[in-house]
Every structure is written in C-alpha cells, then in structure tokens.
C-alpha cells in the first residue's frame, strides 16, 4: 500500500543532505521534467516581480524566491520531513519508532508540483511551486505533468493499493483511476455537511499515520475504512470513495 499525500506550501528550511541529485530520486522517468522545472524556477528567480506573479506571493515572501534561486546548491532533507503544516503535524512522522517508522517510510509518498511524486526518503531542497502556479511562457503544470506522471502513478498502482489523499489541484497533475479517495466533511446538527479545510488536513494526517504505521496491509477501500474506524474515525464508503465525517 502507498499513501499519497499532498505537499504543503510551507516547508522546513535547511537540511543536512547533499545538494539535489536527480539521479538519486525515485521514479527516474520523471527526471527530464523535474530538471526542466528546476531550471525554470532558478532562471525565474532572477526576476522578482515575475516570480511573485508566477508563484502567487507578495514581496514579504521574497525568501521563497531566494530558495528557488539556490535549488541546485542548497542542502536537502527527506521529503517526508521537508513538508510542514496541519496534515504533517497530525501525521507526526518524527514520533514513530522501530517497525512503525520503517513501515511509514516505505508506504508514504508525496505529490509535488516540482517533482511529480516523491517517496518519503527522497532528498529534496526547500522550494516554492504550487500546482496552480503559472510559469511565464510555459504550458500549465498539469499539461506538462500529466503525460509523464500518469504512467508512473499507474505503475505504482499496478503493484500497490494507493490511498490518494491529494487535494484536487495536485490530483489534477496526475490522475489515478482506481485509487482510494478520501474526503472529510463536517456534519451539522441539521444534517448539512460542509467541507472545512483545517479539519480536512488534520484528519487526513491522522488517517495517513494510521495507515502508514500500522501492521495492517489493506488491499481495498473496505479494508482502508476498517483501519480508519479502528483509529476512531467515522467513515462511510461508496466504492473506492471514503468520507470521514466529523461533528461541525
């Protein structure tokens, strides 16, 4: 089983790994586009106004542009430790030990606008590029990624059940028919259900932790739902679509 996480806008700085080595990353079929996108970001960093427009950031976030300028020379760290935020706080990979940590590092992957898909231990630098970023003079990221990323994801799904926790924009970079998809909805006292971003991320992080670190090896959506329920979640299933329901 592979648990495919969304990335985060926020990323830890620094690292103690050697600079980015494309050949050391998993899914080497993605190397040409990874390298092209890195080159695009490094070149774009020389033009701060253009970088801000492309990345959707303000002048107060110019440190993000500085990160992109040094993508090829800055230190790296494992992808699963690079990303931060609500989902990754709930996942809390750092607290896992022993066999649970080994299982989690083997099962976790991250969707990325810059790298396509990363395994937990792939060494990457800090960067700024979102699925919705618009690089000047280039096709959309989804147009660039889909032809190369979808075959890679299909190969992964051919041997492992994939639980796809990516948000819509990242799922759009590489579609994965047949994966188990998870939504989180808040249920109000009148029965209405609404999407809430914060809790969506937190509960997906909890589910990722339960799936990635546990001894169970789910083979289908029903088994994934069972793991979620054992972790204390209220889950409904419709085929490969799971809905985690939380009180509003």
Query: What tens digit of pLDDT does each residue of 144-186 get?
Result: 999 999 999 999 999 999 999 999 999 999 999 999 999 999 9
What residues have CB less than 8 Å from 23, skipping those under 6 apart?
31
Do the strands 193-194 and 241-247 form a parallel or antiparallel pair, or are they unpaired? Answer: unpaired
The tokens describing 246, both together, are 């939380």
Evaluate the CA torsion angle 13, 15, 19, 23 in order and state its sign.
negative
Evaluate the CA torsion angle 157, 93, 171, 64 in order and state its sign.
negative
pTM of the model: 0.95
Phi then psi for 242, rounded to 5 degrees? Answer: -110, 140
The H-or-E segment that residue 243 falls in is strand 241-247
The pLDDT tens digits for 190-248 are: 999 998 878 899 999 999 999 999 999 999 999 999 999 999 999 999 999 999 999 98
Phi then psi for 73, rounded to 5 degrees? Answer: -125, -15
Do the strands 123-124 and 180-187 form a parallel or antiparallel pair, or are they unpaired? Answer: unpaired
The pLDDT tens digits for 122-150 are: 999 999 999 999 999 999 999 999 999 99
DSSP 30: G
* Secondary structure tally for the chain: helices H, strands E: 10, 10
Do the strands 77-78 and 241-247 form a parallel or antiparallel pair, or are they unpaired? Answer: unpaired
Q: What is the mean pLDDT of residues 96-107?
A: 98
Q: Has residue 118 got a pLDDT over 90?
A: yes
In this predicted structure, what is the pLDDT of residue 48? 97
Residue 180 near residue 162 (C-beta atoms within 8 A): yes
In this predicted structure, what is the pLDDT of residue 131? 97
The rounded mean pLDDT for the chain is: 97
The pLDDT tens digits for 34-84 are: 999 999 999 999 999 999 999 999 999 999 999 999 999 999 999 999 999
């Amino acid at each position: 089983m592979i648990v495919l996480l969304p990335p985060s806008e926020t990323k830890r700085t620094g690292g103690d790994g050697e600079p980015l080595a494309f050949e050391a990353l998993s899914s080497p079929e993605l190397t040409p586009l990874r390298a092209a996108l890195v080159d695009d970001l490094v070149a774009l960093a020389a033009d701060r106004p253009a970088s801000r427009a492309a990345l959707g950031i303000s002048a107060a976030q110019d440190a993000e542009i500085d990160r992109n300028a040094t993508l090829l020379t800055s230190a790296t760290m494992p992808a699963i430790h690079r990303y931060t935020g609500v989902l990754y706080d709930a996942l809390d990979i750092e607290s896992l030990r022993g066999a649970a940590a080994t299982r989690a590092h083997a099962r976790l992957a991250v969707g990325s606008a810059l790298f396509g898909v990363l395994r937990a231990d792939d060494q990457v630098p800090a960067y700024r590029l979102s699925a919705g970023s618009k690089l000047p003079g280039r096709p959309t990221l989804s147009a660039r990624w889909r032809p190369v990323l979808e075959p890679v994801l299909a190969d992964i799904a051919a041997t492992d059940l994939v639980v796809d926790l990516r948000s819509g924009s990242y799922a759009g970079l590489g579609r994965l028919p047949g994966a188990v998809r998870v939504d989180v909805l808040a249920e109000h006292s009148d029965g209405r259900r609404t999407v809430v971003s914060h809790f969506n991320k937190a509960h997906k992080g909890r589910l990722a932790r339960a799936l990635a670190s546990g001894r169970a090896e789910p083979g289908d959506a029903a088994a994934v739902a069972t793991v979620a329920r054992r972790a204390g979640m209220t889950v409904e299933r419709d085929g490969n679509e799971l809905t985690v329901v939380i009180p509003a």
